[in-house]
Amino acid sequence: MESPGITRTIPALLAWATAWAAMAWLDGRLELANLAMLLVLASALSALWLPGWASMSASALAVLAFNWFFVPPKFTFTVDLHQNALLLMALLLVNWIIAGLVIRQRHLADTARTVAGREARLRQWGDTLRDASDPAAHAAALRAALQEATGSSVAVSVLRALGGQPDDSTTLQVGEPDAEQRAGLALCVRDGRPMGAGSGRYDELPDTYLPLRGKGVTLGAALVTGLARHPQGHELRPHLQALCDQMGSALHRSLMAAQEQQAREQAQLQATRNALLAAISHDYRTPLATIMGAASALQEQGERMDGAQRQRLAAGIVEESERLARLTDNTLQLARLDAPAVTLRCDWESMEEIVGAVLRRARRRPEGSRVRAWVEPDLPLLWCDAMLVSQLLDNLLDNALKYSPAEAPVELHATRDGGHLVLAVSDRGPGIAPAWREKVFEVFQRGDTGPEQSLADGGRGAGVGLAVCRAIARAHQGELLLRPRAEGGCRFECRLPLHGDGQPPPLAPEAQEATP
């Protein structure tokens, strides 16, 4: 493999050889001044490849050779005519000036290419960090970029948390620094300033330490060994610091985003707790007051009541207790489904069994005889959390029974629609005003059935049942929809995906699946 020096020398030698061959052929055909122009041309061309000292030396030797071979008297260094002496002096000066200009332009071009390469490296590094979800994982890439720029050994230390210390167990170390260099990295992180030759701090050190600086914080440091001895060390230092600062800014953005996400989750949990307290303080009072009143009446006046009165009070206690239990289950389930990384206990379930269990519970209620259920034959198994799907159907039936006329039937259908299982609960109630058809799925919203009748049935209900139903549907990658019926009433449709390949589907990120 040819060395770069030989590769650059060959074109220069060819330029000189061609010029001398042309001058030898044209000797006697052209005047001496015209031959000298070929010498100027060869000197300018050779300067494109030769180093500065070599180009100047070659030009001087060429003028001497031109005097020897072409200036009368030939084959001597004697010059008879003063004009020939002036020609030789001018020829040497012009060759040197042209060579100097060409070498300067070549140096400027090399500098421009170097600067463009550094800018391209910075842009590429910035693009890499901008698209990175975890910039700390690119510590090895930063080390490679610094090594490519300097050709020296590099080590990188990255903090994985805001407020962390460089000697924490969570600190990421890339490279193999010795004990003294690790201490230098730690000091650089704590001070947030570069160290080493040319930095103004510990200039006697042979190595250079560069901080990874974010906005007002230092999140790591990079060690470049022997940068003080690098021929371009002074010019390289700002470029290396820019690479490190890009890494520090990306780390700062990533850690701040993680803290912001954590704060949002904490705020969401706090909002859920506040909502639970609001539900307990407001919506639990009515059933509790009814239960306490009926129980007190039985305790204090039970002996003076006939059997029908005691039975009526006992039935009221049972009804309000069931209502309170449903309200508690819905509120706690809503808190669970709103929490991040909720876990579902999924398995392959039969819709015939789920609908049958829901129907049996509904029939135990006084108005449960109005419920009609129909399940399409040969439905495939559904990958779901059976308890959650059952709770969804219980809530929809409870809502339909509560807000429909006492004599009107409530229908529960389970059918297949392409790749989805559709669970539909229909009633013949007053319906829901168009402006409230999405709001009813929000927590603690009871909606409005229009100017003639309130959906809240006299203020009963906490407004969490439908919110829980939609949360359950979406946790299974499904959806809950409200469709008004032309003949009056509402139809709530829960569409859940079916998977005929027998493989458990990937659930939503916030609802990671798990078998019992």
Domain limits, the chain: 4-123, 135-259, 263-319, 340-514
Query: How confident is the model at residue 272, as a pLDDT?
Result: 65
DSSP 311: H
pLDDT band at 516 (very low <50, low <70, confident <90, very high): very low
Tens-place pLDDT, residues 146-203 = 888 888 888 888 887 776 666 666 678 888 888 888 888 888 888 888 988 778 888 8
CA 334 to CA 318: how far, in whole Å? 24
Q: Which CATH homologous superfamily contains domain 135-259?
A: GAF domain (3.30.450.40)
Mean pLDDT check: name the lowest of 327-341, 371-385, 391-405: 327-341
Tens-place pLDDT, residues 41-84 = 888 888 777 777 777 888 888 888 887 888 878 877 777 666 67
Q: Where are the beta strands (DSSP E) in 335-489?
A: 342-345, 347-349, 371-375, 382-384, 410-417, 420-426, 479-484
Mean pLDDT check: name the lowest of 71-80, 131-140, 209-218, 401-410: 131-140
Closest CA to 391 of 313, 470, 321, 279: 470
Amino acid at 493: E
Pick the CATH number of 340-514 from 3.30.565.10, 3.40.309.10, 3.40.50.80, 3.40.50.300: 3.30.565.10
Which structure tokens are listed for 411?
A: 């229908």
CA 50 to CA 35: how far, in whole Å? 23
Query: Whole-model pTM?
Result: 0.46
Evaluate if residue 299 carries a pLDDT over 80: yes
- How large a percentage of the chain has pLDDT more than 90? 12
| DSSP assignment string, 113-147 | HHHHHHHHHHHHHHHHHHT-S-GGGGHHHHHHHHH
Q: Do β-strands 342-345 and 208-213 pair in parallel, antiparallel, or remain unpaired?
A: unpaired
Closest CA to 272 of 459, 440, 507, 464: 464
CA 338 to CA 272: how far, in whole Å? 8
Query: How confident is the model at residue 4, as a pLDDT?
Result: 47
Mean pLDDT check: name the lowest of 36-40, 156-160, 282-286: 282-286
Evaluate if residue 375 carries a pLDDT over 90: yes
> Between 204 and 135, where is the model more confident?
204
